[in-house]
Amino acid sequence: MTGERLADLAVVGAGFAGMSAAIFAGARGLSTIQVGNAGALLFSSGPLDLMGVHPVEEGRVWTDPFAAAAAVARDIPGHPYSRVDAAAIRAAFAEIVAALGEAGLDYGPLGDTNRELVTGAGTIKTTYCVPRSMLAGVAALADRVPCLLVGFQGLREYSAAGIAEALRERWPGLRAIQVDFRAGVAAGEAHAAHLARALELAENRAALCERIRPQLADAQAVGLPAVLGLRRSDAIAGDLSNQLGVPVFEIPTIPTSVPGLRLKDAFERAAARRGVRRIVQRRVLAIVPEADAFALYLEDAPPGTAPLRARAVVIATGRFMGRGLVADRRRIREALLDLPVVQPSSRSRWHEADFFDPRGHEANRAGVTVDETFRPCDEAGQRVHPRLFAIGTLLAHHDWARTKCGAGVAIVSARAAVLAALHELGGGAR
């Protein structure tokens, strides 16, 4: 990697936000380099949240995610959703969902409401955008139809009986069974990815149906752990539905999961189709502004190797897990440029005394503050650089995990930043 070619845009990070930014940029004709490890995507369970809970201390769950986003923008002026409107949110989701669909990962139709689906932990998750392979489960839960949950012997991260027991009062029509289905894998622990590969073969799907069919009884739907192929999960669910005569749906499993593998694969395929040049399993150690570009220095670069150079940079490094933010005994700081970080005034205020405090913890709202175009700002509110942007969970003023807005913040801020970069580079918004 010589760094001789000057790119229009460098995206630092390859999680939800970084992959979205790369896709948006490539689709608009920007020559784009992306550097980072997409490992965080493996922790996704598949659904894409927009906005689910606000205010977090009240635990209010919203049916209308756009109304929730508007309320957040009104109540928390620095929240990323305060920088965009409903039309921008819809456009961002529509483009990413279409890109993932072209790459083989289909989602249900986008609408105006959140949906509820069962999780592998036996809870009900409120989310906005659901993979098609899970969509029949949304309808089954809403109608409380008699449903059979199927588990696999040896699959330790999933218990059909546990889900049925946890939801017994809310969904009394649930039954659970466990089948011995290994598809050629030796006795012992079963792994979700192995089962997913096995179920890509028609003969294995037929064998699984033979084990389920005698126990269907009055079931009007069948729920399986999310192991219906590493690709074509919707088609595989459709085939099982045809064989069993009732809708079949997937239930998200705990990370790291097959839906996370699918999402990572689809994002990478979509970026490649748009001409994005990706540098994986490498970290950017430093970003140095130059006269007309930025120089990006990578870890493990041979001596004398020139840095990567780009006219604009989007930082999508996440918070603590992605090492976009690092903490020492005195403060939380941004790792690459030491950008100002909104944070509690003292370390003693990072966390509440009660781990389960309904207000959450201030450290989980720490991050970089940006202007209306997602350019980082200094303490005086001035842009740090006209061609530098920050997106995703790196941003301040939101607790994405508790409020169920992580994917939405990532996707929406990525689109807004790319459009602003395109305009700054002379391309006009499109």
Burial class (CB in 10 A: 0-12, 13-18, 19+), 95: middle
The CATH 3.50.50.60 domain(s) of the chain lie at 6-104+261-424
Say if CB 410 and CB 394 are below 8 A apart: no
Helix/strand/coil for 139 = helix
Q: Is the pLDDT of residue 423 over 60?
A: yes
Q: Is the pLDDT of residue 3 over 60?
A: no
The CATH 3.40.50.1860 domain(s) of the chain lie at 120-251
| pLDDT attached to residue 4 | 57
Distance CA 246, CA 55 (A): 39
Closest CA to 126 of 417, 429, 408, 421: 408
188 pLDDT band, cuts 50/70/90, is low
388-390 and 308-315 strand pairing: parallel
Angle at 47 between CA 226 and CA 278, to 5 degrees: 95
Q: Which CATH architecture has domain 120-251?
A: 3-Layer(aba) Sandwich (3.40)
Place of tokens 């305060």: 82
Distance CA 374, CA 411 (A): 13
Say if CB 92 and CB 19 are below 8 A apart: no
Say if CB 152 and CB 181 are below 8 A apart: yes
Q: Where are the beta strands (DSSP E) in 281-423?
A: 284-289, 294-298, 308-315, 325-327, 332-334, 341-342, 367-368, 388-390
Q: Is the pLDDT of residue 236 over 80?
A: yes
Give 376-417 pLDDT, tens digit per residue: 999 888 999 999 999 999 999 998 888 899 999 999 999 999
| pLDDT attached to residue 111 | 93
Give 86-108 pLDDT, tens digit per residue: 999 999 999 999 999 999 999 99
- The fold adopted by the segment(s) 6-104+261-424 is FAD/NAD(P)-binding domain (3.50.50)
Q: Rounded to the nearest 10 degrees, how much is the dihedral formed by the CA atoms of 329, 332, 334, 335?
A: 30
Helix/strand/coil for 99 = helix
Q: Model's pTM, two decimal places?
A: 0.93
Distance CA 120, CA 103 (A): 26
Distance CA 13, CA 177 (A): 42
Residue 46 CA from chain centroid, whole number: 7
| pLDDT attached to residue 1 | 40
Distance CA 129, CA 238 (A): 19
Give 123-182 pLDDT, tens digit per residue: 999 999 999 999 999 999 999 999 999 999 988 889 999 999 999 999 999 999 999 887
| pLDDT attached to residue 2 | 43
Distance CA 275, CA 332 (A): 36
